[in-house]
Amino acid sequence: MSTLRDLLERLGQDVSDVRLERAMVASQHASEGSGQRLAELNERLDHMTLAIVAMWDLVKETHGLVDRQLLDRMAKLDELDGTKDGRLRMPPRPCRQCGRNLKATRSRCLYCGTACAPTQILP
Ligand SMILES: [Zn+2]
């Protein structure tokens, strides 16, 4: 399963990059070339969606899961932060060494460098 985890981590980084770029493009929508960039970002999102659907299809086929199980798990994870908004927002957690807050996706403390297992894979 480490291959699937690696794929998910890479996918998560791609999603994060696309979100950041889309926000930047949206903030400068009047600038030259932003329409082309937005089209490129939408193309990347389409590609990532295809990758997610392909992974889920493989998981269903390999492990005999059904769509209802995925939907139930999505709903459960959505509600972890107390807000049912269709997003995964894990709260920050303290570094076990220095106590400063770390994003759930961080695997290492930004302040002291201590390795901390992420509590969330995708952003
Ligand atoms: Zn720390």
The β-bridge partners of 94 are 101
Q: How many angstroms separate the alpha carbon of residue 114 from the centre of ligand 1?
A: 6
Q: How many angstroms separate the alpha carbon of residue 105 from the centre of ligand 1?
A: 14
Buried b (16+ CB within 10 A) or exposed e, 27-48: eeeeeeeeeeeeeebeeeeeeb
Ramachandran class of 68: left when φ > 0, alpha when ψ lies in -120 to 50, beta otherwise: alpha
Q: Are 44 and 14 in contact (CB under 8 A)?
A: yes
Q: How many angstroms separate the alpha carbon of residue 94 from the centre of ligand 1?
A: 8
Q: How many angstroms separate the alpha carbon of residue 76 from the centre of ligand 1?
A: 30
Per-residue pLDDT reduced to its tens digit, 88-97: 777 788 999 9
Tokens of 32: 């030259």
Per-residue pLDDT reduced to its tens digit, 31-60: 667 778 788 888 888 888 899 999 999 999
Q: What is the dihedral of CA 45, 50, 55, 61, to 10 degrees?
A: 160
CA angle 42/56/68 to nearest 5° reads: 110
What ranges do the domains of the chain cover? 2-65
Q: How many angstroms separate the alpha carbon of residue 101 from the centre of ligand 1?
A: 8
Global pTM? 0.57
